[in-house]
Amino acid sequence: MIHLTPFLVCALLAKASLAIPSPFTNLARQAGDVCPADALSCQNVSGVNSCCVETPLGLLLQTQFWNFEPAKGPVDSWTVHGLWPDKCDATPKVSCDPSREHPNIRDVLTENGKEDLLRWMEEFWVGIPTDEYLWANEWNRHGTCMSTIAPKCMPEDSATGLDAAIYFQKTADAFKSVPTYEFLASVGIEPNTTKTYSLDELESAFKATHGFIPALDCRNGALSHILYYFHLKGNIMDGTLVPLDALKRGSCPKTGIKYLPKTG
């Protein structure tokens, strides 16, 4: 039986759609500066300007790591992998615009006044072999595929790399909206060297806390990666994430799944 903690009670009272607070509101040079209020990616997008709604890659996956060996990031938090725009049938597409790739994300964030975000990323967006390698890879492969921060959607004379700064801020916001460690801990599932779970138990835990079922990936039978599925109402700068159940299951087996503590 799943026991409701105060955290879980609050989570269940939250709205299903997740607003993304944004310091970048109204920066887009969208068609006539007017976008339909109900534009939702993968749904009512016919004829809608691609600066107004993510299209054709309207399925957003907020992906997280649980790096337990070697340990990366806080012992009581998952860490960011990225925010991936996929086709609406969950078919991936990557590296959409090599001309917008950046070799140094630290410089991009600093030049766009995002020093606080950079410090947060150094704790919660950690990568192998280096943080910078992961950050550049996520922007170059995934961020450049987002239609609502394409060059034509950005304000004239905007700073170099503003589109990338928006991507990293929005990915951080999305990550914070789905606190995986807290979701699991609130129903009594915490890292342990011996305990195992069935896939049904874990999916039920997310259904009870998040309201939707993500995709769970495992490494050698242990939880290592999670993918939360969203549509997006509006643009990536000031839109609203609308969660849905994963369209594809991850790689975890049906039984015997471990949730190992971070060690070493």
**Would 85 be classed as within a structural domain?**
yes
Catalytic residue among 142, 210, 225, 231: 142
Side-chain half-sphere CA neighbours of 31 within 13 A: 9
Whole-structure pTM value? 0.89
Q: Is the pLDDT of residue 24 over 50?
A: no
* pLDDT, mean over the chain: 89
Q: Name the more confident of 24 and 97.
A: 97
Identify the CATH number of the domain in which residue 164 sits.
Answer: 3.90.730.10
**Would 186 be classed as within a structural domain?**
yes
Catalytic residue among 54, 81, 210, 231: 81
**Would 6 be classed as within a structural domain?**
no
143-162, pLDDT tens digit by residue? Answer: 999 999 999 999 888 888 99
Q: Is the pLDDT of residue 31 over 50?
A: no
Residue whose tokens read 């609406």: 88
Q: 258 phi and psi, to 5 degrees? A: -100, 155
Q: Residue 206 in 3-state DSSP? A: helix
Using the CB atoms, write b or e for 16-53: b if 16+ within 10 Å. eebebebebeebbebeeeebeeebbbbeebeebbbbbb
Domain hosting 178: range is 34-258
- In the residue annotation, 81 being an active-site residue is answered as yes
Catalytic residue among 138, 203, 225, 231: 138
**Would 225 be classed as within a structural domain?**
yes
Work out how many domains the chain is built from and give that number.
1
Could you tell me if 164 and 102 are in contact, meaning their C-beta atoms sit under 8 angstroms apart?
A: yes
The mean per-residue pLDDT over the stretch 163-168 comes to 97
**Would 3 be classed as within a structural domain?**
no
The mean per-residue pLDDT over the stretch 171-187 comes to 98
**Would 97 be classed as within a structural domain?**
yes
**Would 24 be classed as within a structural domain?**
no
**Would 197 be classed as within a structural domain?**
yes
The mean per-residue pLDDT over the stretch 66-81 comes to 96
